Amino acid sequence: MSSLAAEQSGTFVSIPLEGISGDEPLEFPLYLQNRAGRPVLYRDVRTPFDASHAARLRAEGVTHLWVHEHDKRGYARRVEAGLEDLLHDRSVPTEERAEVLHGVALVVAQDVLGKPPGRDEVRRVERFLVSTATLVVREPGAFHAIRQLLRAGQDLADHSTTVAFLSLGLARQVVGAEPNTLVQASLAGFLHDVGLVGKPLTEDDTDTQHAERGYRFLREQGLPEPVCEAAWAHHERHDGSGLPRGLVGESIPLLGRIVGLVDAFEKVYSGQKTRMGVFDALRVLAQAYRGCFDEDLAVSLLRVFR
Ligand SMILES: [Fe+2]
Ligand SMILES: [Fe+2]
């Protein structure tokens, strides 16, 4: 795995070269890795880093640069501004575009879910997920590339990012690769636990009010009703054993069923003490949550990983 947060060295993080170049001077310094694997200053703050600089590095075989951990947000803002253009650029390998997208997603999630998000932040998430859905619909290999980067959730931002992308993948299997469906599914996944903002993720199972709180919050933000409903229903279970309303089977809205299954899977996958493969996690999910999920939906989740 080679994601923004995964390759950490001390207080530096590795970032893909793609997406950083632009007309504006840098708001943070960029570092290169020397032979000993240590970061050395490459471009200082307020100096330019444009397409010609990136091309020169690429010609030398450089694929990643480094930034200070505390500059991650500045990096994400710079990349986010030109993300749409980068995602359309088929001259950049799909895997590299997916890596940039995933890195930006994690920073957006940390920004937006660090405190109750305002309308502008919710719109920022929407814009980002529209770009993601468009890429997935346009390029069949894109979802696979994104999925390869997903990691177990350490906190609400990680958890929500993974649930967002997997909900998009499951909706693509179940409903079809239609942009609006994929935007709504990923938005529902991204914001399903918004009612937990400010609390530890471990309260997901004990705070029985967070689903309804999230629903009310999302309605106030003017989000589409299926997205709000999914937040409310993500702890409902097929056999009626869920919360908060004890809905049964298809009375649980479809997006709620999709996000609920992905959410439970992500928790099994990230909650294991020993490292577990995806298919083992799916097996544990099937045993531990027997009857809790629609079987057809569970089979479709399996297909998301094939
Ligand atoms: Fe939850
Ligand atoms: Fe969750």
pLDDT for residue 5 is more than 50 = no
What tens digit of pLDDT does each residue of 167-196 get? 999 999 999 999 999 999 999 999 999 999
Contacts (Cβ under 8 Å, ≥6 apart) of 284: 268, 272, 276
Rounded distance from Cα 192 to ligand 2 centre (Å): 6
Question: In this structure, is residue 47 part of a structural domain?
Answer: yes
Note if the bond before 224 is cis, omega within 30 degrees: no
SS3 of residue 77 by DSSP: helix
What tens digit of pLDDT does each residue of 239-292 get? 999 999 999 999 999 999 999 999 999 999 988 767 778 999 999 999 999 999
Tell whether 48 and 163 lie within a shared domain: no
* pLDDT at residue number 10: 60
Give the pLDDT band of residue 8 (cuts 50, 70, 90): very low
Ion ligand 1: protein residues whose beta carbon lies under 5 Å: 193, 204
Q: Which of 72, 88, 119 is the last residue of a domain?
A: 72
Q: b/e string for 30-47 if b means 16 or more Cβ within 10 A?
A: bbbbeeeeebeebbeeee
pLDDT for residue 3 is more than 60 = no
Residue 60 is part of which domain span? Answer: 1-72
pTM for the predicted model, two decimal places: 0.92
Tell whether 188 and 298 lie within a shared domain: yes
Closest ligand relative to 195 C-alpha: 1
Tell whether 295 and 163 lie within a shared domain: yes
Question: In this structure, is residue 126 part of a structural domain?
Answer: no
Residue 205: which CATH number?
1.10.3210.10
Tell whether 163 and 41 lie within a shared domain: no
Give the pLDDT band of residue 226 (cuts 50, 70, 90): very high
Rounded distance from Cα 1 to ligand 2 centre (Å): 23
What tens digit of pLDDT does each residue of 69-116 get? 999 999 998 999 889 999 999 999 999 999 999 999 999 999 999 999
Tell whether 160 and 280 lie within a shared domain: yes
Q: Which of 72, 94, 122 is the last residue of a domain?
A: 72
Tell whether 46 and 165 lie within a shared domain: no
pLDDT for residue 232 is more than 80 = yes
Question: In this structure, is residue 61 part of a structural domain?
Answer: yes
Give the pLDDT band of residue 2 (cuts 50, 70, 90): very low
Task: For the chain, give the mean pLDDT.
Answer: 92
What tens digit of pLDDT does each residue of 124-158 get? 999 999 999 999 999 989 999 999 998 877 799 99
What tens digit of pLDDT does each residue of 15-64 get? 999 999 999 999 999 999 988 888 999 999 999 999 999 999 999 999 99
Q: Which of 38, 72, 106 is the last residue of a domain?
A: 72
Question: In this structure, is residue 257 part of a structural domain?
Answer: yes
How many domains, the chain?
2
Rounded distance from Cα 91 to ligand 1 centre (Å): 39
DSSP string, 190-207: HHTTGGGTTS-GGGGTT-
Tell whether 41 and 167 lie within a shared domain: no
pLDDT for residue 9 is more than 60 = no
Q: How far apart are CA 102 and CA 85, in angstroms?
A: 16
Rounded distance from Cα 304 to ligand 2 centre (Å): 19
Tell whether 45 and 186 lie within a shared domain: no
> Residue 90 burial (CB < 10 Å; 0-12/13-18/19+)?
exposed
In degrees to the nearest 10, what's the CA dihedral of 204, 256, 180, 197? -20
User: Tokens 């309804």 identify what position?
Assistant: 212
Closest ligand relative to 160 C-alpha: 2
Tell whether 195 and 296 lie within a shared domain: yes
Closest ligand relative to 261 C-alpha: 2
Question: In this structure, is residue 271 part of a structural domain?
Answer: yes
Ion ligand 2: protein residues whose beta carbon lies under 5 Å: 193, 263
Rounded distance from Cα 201 to ligand 1 centre (Å): 8
Rounded distance from Cα 2 to ligand 2 centre (Å): 24
Closest ligand relative to 231 C-alpha: 1
Closest ligand relative to 264 C-alpha: 2
Tell whether 191 and 287 lie within a shared domain: yes
Rounded distance from Cα 28 to ligand 2 centre (Å): 34
Beginning with the edge strand found earlier in the chain, give each strand of the sheet holding 8-9 in spatial order: 8-9, 12-16, 64-68, 30-33, 39-43
Rounded distance from Cα 190 to ligand 2 centre (Å): 9
Question: In this structure, is residue 34 part of a structural domain?
Answer: yes
What 8-state DSSP symbol labels residue 8? E
What 8-state DSSP symbol labels residue 235? T
Rounded distance from Cα 262 to ligand 2 centre (Å): 9
Closest ligand relative to 211 C-alpha: 1
* pLDDT at residue number 277: 86
Rounded distance from Cα 232 to ligand 2 centre (Å): 11
Rounded distance from Cα 269 to ligand 1 centre (Å): 15
Tell whether 161 and 268 lie within a shared domain: yes
Question: In this structure, is residue 107 part of a structural domain?
Answer: no
Question: In this structure, is residue 93 part of a structural domain?
Answer: no
Tell whether 187 and 292 lie within a shared domain: yes
